[in-house]
Amino acid sequence: MTDPLVIRDIEFMGGQASPTGWSPEARTLPEVAFSGRSNVGKSSLLNALVKRRALARVSETPGKTREINFFRINHEFVLADLPGYGFARVAKTTRETWRPLIEGYLRHSMQLRGVVQLIDSRHEPSDDDRTMLDFLAELGAPTVVVLTKIDKLRTAERARRVTELTNVLGMEDEQVIPFSTVAKIGRDELAEAVVALVSQPSWRAAVPPPGVTRGRSM
């Protein structure tokens, strides 16, 4: 299979730590944001997506990413790595800073083309997961759900679990991608989804093209 996303160049642009703090200048490239609970496997997924070992640091300490980190890919588009949410041991003041940071970015970035929402396939969606999906649906943001750590389930259980979570979340089948960095499952499907997102016009001002779904089904 031809690689749908060949990585030729990656540049770390910087990290935005507050709604009024630094953000990339001259933002003209389309952006795709990656969101999920702390310890859902987001750093490992990003590394697998771009086929690099250390694009996003993998830590055993949940809540390590505390900024929105921006990575320019092939001088064509930008990946935005959002702070992980839902980790109780992170200081309350830090969590209170993250919420307006994440919400402000998702609500106001004019270059945002869509969001990849990560959910641990082994567990039911948390209240924070549902809140995020509701918020994205409210915005009308094109959303892809990635079910991480699918390798932790027995092979015979995986298809059934994907169907269950797709129904629970009210998503369409084409919006949900099972994923495993360990078993190398779902990387190309995710790459195709990212390429589709960055190829479409801004959803804030235009109706998405056929085959691209906004938000989740309500």
CATH number of the domain that residue 52 is part of: 3.40.50.300
- Residue 93, class by beta-carbon neighbours within 10 Å (0-12 exposed, 13-18 middle, 19+ buried)? exposed
Split at pLDDT 50, 70, 90, the class of 178 is very high
| pLDDT tens digits for range 151-166 | 999 999 999 999 999 9
Measured CA to CA, the distance from residue 20 to residue 110 in angstroms comes to: 16
The count of domains in the chain is 1
Q: Tell whether 5 is covered by a domain.
A: no
Q: Tell whether 205 is covered by a domain.
A: no
Q: Tell whether 111 is covered by a domain.
A: yes
Q: Tell whether 218 is covered by a domain.
A: no
How much of the chain, in percent, has pLDDT values that exceed 90?
Answer: 67
Q: Tell whether 201 is covered by a domain.
A: no
Q: Which domain holds residue 47?
A: 10-196
Pairing of strands 112-120, 68-73: unpaired
Split at pLDDT 50, 70, 90, the class of 54 is confident
pLDDT higher at 71 or 206: 71
Q: Tell whether 42 is covered by a domain.
A: yes
Give the per-residue pLDDT at 62. 47
Place of tokens 């809540």: 63
Q: Tell whether 212 is covered by a domain.
A: no
Give the per-residue pLDDT at 175. 96
Place of tokens 């859902």: 40
State yes or no: pLDDT of 130 exceeds 60. yes
Strand order in the sheet with 68-73: 10-16, 68-73, 77-81, 31-36, 112-120, 143-148, 176-178
Mean pLDDT of the chain: 86
Measured CA to CA, the distance from residue 79 to residue 190 in angstroms comes to: 13
Give the per-residue pLDDT at 217. 44
Q: Tell whether 100 is covered by a domain.
A: yes
Q: pTM for the whole thing?
A: 0.87
